[in-house]
A and B are shown apart, each in its own frame.
Chain A
């Protein structure tokens, strides 16, 4: 895969993370896939919660670590929240994740780098890094034209650097 350019976003708190999540959610359409990574406690679930809220999910979105996949109803699109922390790639392979990735909803995959071969070639990769004082650096790497457009749009709106 070509080495796409990366976009940056820094967040000092949950409200600012919400701003990024909200801006991304506006672009979401069926089959959108966001691949999230970052250390334990980096804020992957917090981002996913903001993103779900922005999609109009009203139910409580809590960690999917135990059940791997949780499904929610957004106002227009279903939201699929995955966490492959407990899986190896071989094991994830048999879960039929493609049904979700290429389905009618929007998918966020936490710990996505654990299953590189199973992710769709086109996706938005988001890496979250924790800085001092709880500040978060989001590094967004689009793969594919669709996500390039998202990122360019967000940069033009001043969300991404």
Chain B
């Protein structure tokens, strides 16, 4: 495509590293869109016994597994370290101890191989995971839903991010996990609630948090409290609520608000595509409802396969490639930035970005 002048261009291989929270992952990406390898060391088994994801364990795991996973990713990609063009790494946001391990590994590689170093915003990665699946059409709208994030992001052109809304309290994945725990379901709770909700014939009535009429922000803390209150009230009367009805009531409330706000934002920004990103994109109830609304609105819905929705390094390579092409490199003094702002991470020449620092307040 890009070689029309008959030049046989060498492919650009980016090695990407992601350690922002609970996964150690390394990928090799060719020309920003082709996944040559994407190795993820899922730590779910270790975490189960705690009823939650334990980042300290993860942090230590990152150190233990980093070298092995780098080797594996390079080997699976069928490339040599000397074939690489740049090293991309998640710079933030995330847990500082976890981020650090990836950043240090990336710097070491960049220094020894004499390659450019690219810092990547984790959410930009989630959004650009979609580019590994199909071409993107701007302006687009992204709904990012995961254990730590719930954001509506407008991407007016390539690499230009504007946060329209975000959670004011719990992230959607976190709300799922906490409700699942209250229902005595195993970790991770999301898939269990999703399944129970779809099998249930009834739903207990639960509130929807719409916030101010114009707002694209979310709030799931009140819904979580409403679920707990319903469970407690039933218990005090010596009854147990049907977990399926609770799951369905909860999921309907979450999905309705997510879908409604995302579709309204897509309409308001004239989005040509709606992207679903983040681990909660695996939720069937959410995907089905969003697909239905998007079809009615005539907006194509993009949902990457699950392996690219949960944290992985391939998405970091896809987003990092934007900065590679733009020549936006970091020096070896780059540090992990737990509160990195997405808007400030936008490409330097992207429209609509006047002053990244002024916008970083919404980090």
Nearest B residue to A66, CB-CB: B148
CB-CB under 8 A from B171, the residues of chain A are 62-63, 65-66
Residue numbers in A under 8 Å from B147 (CB-CB)? 66
Asked if A86 contacts B221 (CB within 8 A), the reply is no
Contact B361–A70 (Cβ < 8 Å): no
Q: Which of A40-77 contact B (CB under 8 A)?
A: 40-41, 45-46, 49, 58-60, 62-63, 65-72
Query: With a CB–CB cut-off of 8 A, which chain A residues contact B174?
Result: 63, 65-66
A69 touches B168 (CB 8 A): no
Contact indicator per residue, chain A 10-44, by CB within 8 Å of chain B (1) or not (0) = 00000000000000000000000000000111000
Contact of A59 (CB < 8 Å), options: B96, B173, B362: B362
Closest B residue, CB atoms, query A63:
B170
B150-169 residues at the A interface, CB under 8 angstroms: 166-169
B338 engages A60 (CB within 8 Å): no
Please classify how large the interface on chain B is, using the bins under 10, 10 to 19, 20 to 34, 35 or more. 35 or more
Query: Which of A90-98, A141-149, A150-158 is the contact stretch?
Result: A90-98
Residues of A within 8 A of B97 (CB): 94-96
Tell which of B50, B52, B166, B224 touches A62, judged by Cβ atoms closer than 8 Å.
Answer: B166
Interchain CA distance A71-B147 in the complex, whole Å: 18
Shortest CB distance A79–B (Å): 12
A13 to chain B, nearest CB (A): 13
- Nearest CB in chain B to that of A65: its residue: B174
- Chain B residues positioned under 8 Å from A60 (CB to CB): 166, 168, 217, 362
A12 CB to nearest chain B CB (Å): 15
Known interface pairs A63-B174, A65-B170; A40-B224 also in contact (CB < 8 Å): yes
Closest to B218 in A: A62
Chain A nearest CB from B358 CB (Å) reads: 12
Q: Which residues of A contact B60 (CB under 8 A)?
A: 94
A3 at the interface (CB under 8 A from B): no
Contacting residues, chain B, for A39 (C-beta < 8 A): 228
**Chain A residue, CB-CB nearest to B147:** A66
Task: Using CB atoms and an 8 Å cutoff, list the residues of chain A in contact with chain B.
Answer: 39-41, 45-46, 49, 58-60, 62-63, 65-72, 85-88, 90-96
The 8 A-B pairs at the shortest CB distance, nearest first, are namely A66-B148, A91-B56, A41-B225, A86-B52, A41-B228, A63-B170, A66-B147, A67-B95
